[in-house]
Amino acid sequence: MKDSLDVIKNLMEQYEKPFYIYNEGVIDKQIKILTEELSQFEFLYSIKTNPYAPIVDFIVSKGFGADAASANEVIIAQKAGLPCEKIIYSSPGKTRQDIEKTLDKSIIVADSYNELDLINNIAKQRGLNVKIGLRINPDYNMNMGQGISSKFGVDEETLVNRKELFKNLTNIKIVGIHVHLRSQILDYSALYKYYERVFKLAVFCKESMGWELEFINFGGGIGIAYSASNDTPLNVKLLGEKCKVLIERLKNKINARLIIETGRFLVCQAGKYITRIVDIKESRGKKYLIVTSSLNGFLRPSIAELLSSYMPKTSKLQGCEPLFTAKDAFEFTILKNGKSSFEKVSVAGDLCTSADLMAKDIMLPKADIGDILMVSNAGSYAYTLTPVLFASHTPPLQIYIKSNGEIVL
């Protein structure tokens, strides 16, 4: 740990600006957990969590495909060396330009009946017969209750009545389904029940709709423990053991690629956000640590504080991924030598807005101007969600530390 902290301090001395630092060793450890405990599945790296090229390249080198949420993410995956069949492009609202750009570079997952027509027409114009997937909004929710309205996919109960439409799609063939209901799940039994229901939906699509399924994309949902005090890590081993039994039971009914999207699982804990304390001030009994690029460097902690300020202290805030997970989702550390007494402080930034508050009334070691502040869980939904251009400040750097210690910018 000391070596890595020394690296951070040296990098701050060298560049004198905030930066994200990503640890390849942590990503590799997470990759091994998935591939060893859920070996029956293949995995797609969710590029939207962190599209930084060294991260994408490393994960692809480990045999993972890509979960692309935009046409540009399809191109990112292609540049990383992935073939068409290893890139699954799923998002609502694809335009004609999006489809034309990616038709021969990915497996497109249609998100609506209108989109099915659009893909078919483009394929017909090009004289192609294209295999695609269809996103389905199932008739159940993550708690196995009744299905809810969603902007994603087509409602399961509408499929049978659209058989004539499917027959008229002359230039596309549905060979896969995609379902995703919720992210950041830590209960293995909830994930297992969900996988079981998706399997049953796939069997229905094969037997009742007549689709020759080549893949079942179960979506994401595999969560990570943000809070050491409040979160119990997902038991991936038990999930894998139950899935082995499930797959053995259903393998005679359906033989297809079984796909899971990784979401934040691979990269969240591999990243840290680093900034410097540039001022310390007191106002009516409260102490503030002023850092460079707070809200405009790493947005999510500020969102947590903003939401908390509008809710009673006794309320339990519901997650709204990927913007908000939990109030205590991030750990703040001051990099100092030796021991120091603790004090209650708030961490704020250098923007001209009161919303620029990373943490309010937390206990930290007594700090001095010039000390370095480190924030955890900054590997996913961090740089890309942050308004780095706000107030025209210099954006943070991104730095990748390979397992051999090599530093990549």
Residues 227-283 have pLDDT tens digits of: 877 899 999 999 999 999 999 998 889 999 999 999 999 999 999 999 999 999 999
Q: Is 6 within a domain?
A: no
Output the domain CATH number for residue 343.
Answer: 2.40.37.10
Mean pLDDT, range 74-99, rounded to an integer: 98
Of 266, 289, 304, which residue sits at a domain end?
266
Domain span including residue 285: 271-408
- Do 91 and 141 lie in a common domain? yes
For the segment 333-356, the average pLDDT, to the nearest whole number, is 93
The answer to whether the beta carbons of residues 216 and 199 sit under 8 Å apart is: yes
Share of the chain above pLDDT 90, in %: 90
Q: Which of residues 266, 285, 303 is at a domain's end?
A: 266
Top pLDDT among 344 and 309 is at: 344
Mean pLDDT of 153-179: 96
308 and 243 in a common domain: no
pLDDT for 275 equals 98
Q: Which of 205, 268, 320, 352 is catalytic?
A: 352
pTM equals 0.95
Residue pointed to by tokens 């359906």: 254
Is 293 within 8 Å of 284 (Cβ atoms)?
no
The verdict on residue 231 lying in a domain is yes
* 245-250 long-range Cβ contacts below 8 angstroms, 24+ apart: 246/192, 246/195, 246/196, 246/199, 247/40, 250/199, 250/203
* Residues comprising the chain, all counted: 409
Are 223 and 302 found together in one domain?
no
- The number of domains in the chain is 2
Judgement on whether residues 97 and 231 belong to the same structural domain of the protein: yes
CATH label of the domain that carries residue 190: 3.20.20.10
Whether the pLDDT of residue 33 is over 80: the answer is: yes
Nearest to 263 by CA among 307, 219, 198: 219
Segment holding 189, helix H or strand E = helix 188-207
243 is catalytic: no
Q: Do 290 and 246 share a domain, yes or no?
A: no
DSSP string of 221-249? -B-----TTT-PPP-HHHHHHHHHHHHHH
Question: Which residue in this structure is represented by tokens 């706000």?
Answer: 390
Q: Are residues 291 and 184 in the same domain?
A: no
On the question of pLDDT at 382 being above 60, the answer is: yes
Q: Is residue 315 part of a domain?
A: yes
d(CA 174, CA 215): 10
The alpha-carbon radius of gyration of the chain (Å, integer) is 23
pLDDT score recorded for residue 2: 54
Last residue of a domain, one of 266, 295, 324: 266
Distances 308 to 117, 160, 273, 274, 301 between C-alpha atoms, Å: 44, 45, 22, 24, 11
pLDDT for residue 196 is more than 90: yes
Residue 307 lies in a domain: yes
Tell me the average pLDDT across 351-365: 96
Is residue 80 domain-resident? Answer: yes
- Whether 118 maps to a domain, the answer reads yes
Q: What is the mean pLDDT of residues 17-34?
A: 98
Residues 231 and 314 in one domain: no
Q: What is the pLDDT of residue 230?
A: 81
